[in-house]
Amino acid sequence: MVSFPNCKINLGLNITRKRNDGFHDIETVFYPLPLYDVLEIIARPNSDNQEEISFSNSGIPLELNAEDNLSVKAYRLLKKDFPHIPVLQIHLHKSIPMGSGLGGGSADAAFALRLINDKFDLSLSSRQLMDYALRLGSDCPFFIINKPCFATGRGETLETLPVDLGNYKILLVNPAIHVHTAHAFSQVTPAPPGKSIKLIIQQPVASWKNELKNDFEEMVSRQYPEIRNIKDELYRTGAIYASMSGSGSTVYGIYEKEKKTPSSFPGHYFVRELTGQL
């Protein structure tokens, strides 16, 4: 059984409060885009070791061992509550860069939960799948819904929004920099926004440049000037709006469909032009 976990970008990101549990409250809009990993799961009957799981990968090399991969953790999580789930063979083909602010690992986890639920008739509701997903990561529940959502709390409180960028194209540019999310959070001073992203996102895209901000971007750009340079280049070449996604390091630009996107980035950058909707 095969599925295709997609990436997301953040349309704005405000860090609003440090919580007593050590996490932060945020507000953002998660927006899904058509850049896909490939996830396949196959039951392995007659295995001698019922705790054994086979994991393989291709595409972009993984930085973690198999047991730390979120799709494997998703299997382990469900296996505890549904011991009849058989031993699995999991193959993951990575196309979404890791540590990039695009949510690829979270998508892999959520899609693994959905695949296992469907394949083995667990009859879990979307709400139940979201509860499992939250145990794997703060933005994993979004990928259960996988529609544009206004997110608050840790990112798990989700409200679908009628945001549609289908009339635009979006350029993703990742400079092969891995930004550690925990460190990024530690460098930001939380504060309530003057105007909620939920209100800003309902305005025309052309107005976002002056109001829609990512609280991580200034700090990450100071540490990695390439981020600022990419954003400047996107605006120079006609992007209506450009921003860093999540805690970085991917920067995206939103362009009118007839506008030519730049192709002059260094060869080691990951650059993809996408349509503005799944």
Question: Catalytic residue positions?
Answer: 8, 139
Identity of the amino acid at 26: I
DSSP 76-93: HHHHHH-TTSPPEEEEEE
Reported as type and span, the H/E element at residue 158 is strand 157-160
Strand runs labelled E in 175-245: 241-244
Give, for 172, the enclosing helix (H) or strand (E). strand 168-174
DSSP annotation string for 83-151: TTSPPEEEEEEE-SPTTSSS-HHHHHHHHHHHHHHHHTT----HHHHHHHHHTT-TTTTHHHH-S-EEE
State whether the Cα torsion 82-83-84-90 is positive or negative: positive
Residues 17 and 25: beta-carbon distance below 8 Å: yes
How many other CB atoms are there within 10 angstroms of residue 20's CB atom? Answer: 6
Where b means 16+ CB within 10 Å and e means fewer, 162-175 reads: ebebeebbbbbbbb
